[in-house]
Amino acid sequence: MSPVTSVPLNDGRSIPQIGYGVFKVDAAVTADVTGQALAAGYRHIDTAKIYGNEEGVGQALRDSGVARDEVFVTTKLWDDAHAHDDAIAACEASLERLGLEQIDLYLIHWATPSQGQYVEAWKALIELRERGLVRSIGVSNFPLPQLEEIIEATGEVPAVHQIELHPYFPQLELREAHARHGIVTESWGPLGQGKSDLLENAVITEIASAHEATPAQVVLAWHLSHGIVALPKSVTPSRIVENLAAAELVLSAEEIAAIDSLDRGEAGRGGTDPATK
């Protein structure tokens, strides 16, 4: 039994709270490491067309012996396919590469406001769900105005919003909007992507020592404590196992509050600001 709990989505389905992320995982090793993740007990995989490794994810799923309906698979629509027909074709191509009949969650990867086609892309995702090619639909990297705009334009609320989120950049404004709309928050870069000293921060390391856990496990447990879905990435076998085991770590209210206080505001952002794309 996986220790990872699932959280409900606003469309009646549910999503495991830890997913195995494969950003920057070389296509040649994706089937192997994703297979290790499935063997370790992960039941949620997060890929994207632009990662170039959907085939490896599909291969791992087929080789794993795990029943298709036990694994939650997410992939994403890239910026070059926001126009209606391109979005439909892109989804069909992802299904082909994954070797699947249905994607569990399909996300618009970036709003890319400068292109101005995110409403059209969102309408295409609604159609893909109605046609049964995808089960749930959501977005990633949407600034709040664009998130509100697609909801206003269609009356359809994304099931998920996947955003950069970690203790140095906790995204309080978006999380508050998600709570208002019933959107599940997913964290990309949940461990800070190695771009800062997050895993060496004394607040984190002291909590880790107290629980005989690792700093990465403490950070992941913090995400879970807030009801957030976290997508840690690692290709190191011991870390693949370690990150999943974070689901068994329970932090106290004081520990959660101490990690909350690490918020660095905009200075904590490590990646691209979606508003500038």
Q: What residues form DSSP beta bridges with 46? A: 21, 74
Q: Tell me if 167 sits within 8 A of 208, measured CB to CB.
A: no
Select from 34-42, 93-101, 113-121, 188-196 the region that touches ligand NAD (CB under 6 A).
188-196
Catalytic, 51? Answer yes
Q: State how beta strands 44-46 and 20-21 pair.
A: parallel
Select from 4-12, 17-25, 52-60, 256-264 the region that touches ligand NAD (CB under 6 A).
17-25
Question: Which residue is associated with the tokens 């705009």?
Answer: 149
- x-or-dash pattern for ligand NAD, window 146-185, by CB under 6 A? ----------------x-----------------------
CA distance 182 to 202: 34
Q: Which is nearer to ligand NAD, 131 or 215 (CB)?
A: 215
Task: Choose which of 234, 244, 255, 259 interacts with ligand NAD (CB under 6 A).
Answer: 234
CA distance 232 to 99: 24
Q: Tell me if 204 sits within 8 A of 178, measured CB to CB.
A: no
Q: Is 36 in the site for ligand NAD (CB under 6 A)?
A: no
Q: Per CB under 6 A, which of residues 114..153 are in contact with ligand NAD?
A: 140-141
Q: How many residues bind ligand NAD (CB under 6 A)?
A: 25
Task: Choose which of 13, 84, 226, 239 interacts with ligand NAD (CB under 6 A).
Answer: 239
CA distance 93 to 113: 24
Q: Is 243 in the site for ligand NAD (CB under 6 A)?
A: yes
Tally of helices (H runs) and strands (E runs) in the chain: 10, 10
Q: State in angstroms the smallest separation of the CB of 229 from ligand NAD.
A: 10
Q: Is 231 in the site for ligand NAD (CB under 6 A)?
A: yes
CA distance 1 to 264: 37
**What values do phi and psi take at 116, rounded to 5?**
70, 25
By CB under 6 A, name the binding residues for ligand NAD: 21-23, 46, 109, 140-141, 162, 188-194, 199, 214, 216, 231-234, 239, 242-243
